[in-house]
Structure 1
């Protein structure tokens, strides 16, 4: 059974000049324990899709189940089973690393003793132990991103949604985050859905890619299959061909993806 399934998922906004169809019917299936890369140009609808799947934005049409629960009928059950790390993060500048992690645990129903123990466990896993008493404004970009991830993992979610998780990080911090995402899949069976504009990141991390453009799915498959389908040496070249930014090579032989 898929852990995420959508059928005709849509989202329409009302603008001054009339309705705007941000998502025009997304059909999506994600397998348990899969790392799925959700790619698309700016304005393609991928962030809107992510916000719907995390219950932050109600769909205007279609149907979806996440971790076995209906997205519209039982959003509270969905939220209990997912973790979400937004692109901008959400750290309180008045708190320390420790107090942020403990508060997150308390919000998920842990008593103070268990929340404190979970905070220390996450600090070990994400190399934050020496930073536990540091105020969040004093953290580097990579340290803040690791703390964002720790907060998203507090309740051991079945599914982790990452919205452009490595934007602004240095190469070392990016490599550390990649290793963490792989470990979550390999050691804990966590399903990861991530958006990114770094095509090398999607190529390195994702088991499968879904490309969204103009509010619909326009291609999907493994990174290798998408490259082969468009005669491309890199995923970036395949992406550009898929989204019509450059044509695929004339002598390429399409293959099913």
Structure 2
């Protein structure tokens, strides 16, 4: 590199430095604005955005409905993270970490809040007895792949995605570091999917729902500019097969457009309150 950065003895926040999300990112937690969250008529209230982490939750909810679990009817409300909606008092009350997605389950006497995408998937799977193996060994295998994805996402998003696509300046070292790790993770998935139909084995589970929203956009070339070419994603044949299969599932197709407010209008559904909301949408 042309310049070498020498860290100060004590770090301080520079609001002018941080790239695309500099305006909303701060080193502090808590609400910045008093504002209640909207509440709909269904038992489950989802507050989210159609980023990969948000899509995990909407795919799961749509899969539950597809499987006949009518108690999984939900309202999905848009949280615009670029405008700081995640820092309102209502949202912080549901997720003190101010990250999407966040779920409020109002089926019982007292509402139950669930935050973190992996926790939402596991909570819903346990509540509805779906997409979660009952066999102890298969359940352990599934949990391994679920948390493999949860632990991997920061390397792919905050690591590779940030330095390759969002950082105000491009630097060789962090791009190389996170490109290597992203490709290693794709290779892990590719080797596994060479052996099994789904990540946890021959059964479609929440592990697949967790990984798909992160992996599919690389295969389809819709994330981080030209990352598909840069990372030679075509090399991962078995990942491509798995993505193609999951992308054809009706619930996955619906879940991918819920809380989406960018792109083609017929592929956006900023809010979802009933199955009728998908009418006229291109899935």
Same fold flag (TM > 0.5): no
Higher strand share: 1
Higher helix share: 2
TM-score band (shorter)? Answer: 0.3 to 0.5
